[in-house]
Each structure stands twice: as C-alpha cells, then as structure tokens.
Amino acid sequence: MIALDDGPAIEVPGEAPHVRRRLTDHLRKEARADLAATVARHAETLGVRPTTIRLKDTTSRWGSASARGVLAFSWRLVMAPPFVLDYVAAHEVAHLMEMNHSDRFWAICERLCPATEAAKTWLNKNGAGLHRLP
C-alpha cells in the first residue's frame, strides 16, 4: 500500500501489474451496488421499473435511458460524491416517465433529487477528473 496522505486508502493485494485491474473491478462492483440501490429507490417513488441496469466506461455521458427501460451508467460515478451519483440515477429514472428534457422531466428530476443543480454544477466542474482515475 502506498499512503499519499492521511485520507482513506484502498489496499489492493497482488502483483503490481494487476493492481489497476483489481481496483477497477472493485470500483465497478461498488458502482453496481450503489446504482442498483439508488435506481430502485427512485423507481419505487415513481412507480416505474427499469428492465436492465448496465455499467459502461463512457467519456461523453454519465448515464442514458432507452425507451425499453434500459438504464446505463458510467461506473466512474462511484468516485463522485454520493449526491452526484444520486442525481444521475434520478435523471435516468425520470426518463422512464419522460423521454425528453422538458420542464415536466426536470420537475420529476428535482422531486427525486433536490440536489440536481448542485450535482450538475459538480459534474461540470469536476467530472473530467473522474476519467483520469483508474
């Protein structure tokens, strides 16, 4: 383990060439659990049900929703503050009711995640940094 500061650390066992992959696998597992729970909570609030949740490593969007109910998310959201992951999950679940970005959609999004504006601001300011990590 390499301690960079006095903050939290993740210990990754194994040989150095495998550390990056093991860390990525761990973060993806955590992202799946966090997103599944958050999506379930928001979906229950709206009375909707996604058909599938997928994880991707996209660089252009944090999440997406299809008309068939497939929700896809960047696994890198797990490295963002929890209110940001909550917002992206709420945003995509809101698309299960409104497949657009109308005023009605944004009202649903704000109802699910009151921190919508703060999360959007955080992503605009810090989101690119998540792509520089593992």
Write the CATH number for 25.
3.30.2010.10
Q: Domain for residue 12, yes or no? A: no
pLDDT in tens, 10-65: 777 778 777 888 889 999 999 999 999 999 999 999 999 999 999 999 888 999 99
Residue 58 domain flag = yes
Percent with pLDDT over 70 in the chain = 94
- In-domain check, residue 40: yes
pTM value is: 0.89
Q: Are 71 and 50 in contact (CB under 8 A)?
A: yes
- Find where tokens 């093991």 sit: 22
Does 10 map to a domain? no
Measured CA to CA, the distance from residue 13 to residue 84 in angstroms comes to: 29
Overall number of domains in the chain:
1
Q: Decide if 42 is inside a domain.
A: yes
Domain hosting 65: range is: 18-130
Query: Would 97 be classed as within a structural domain?
Result: yes
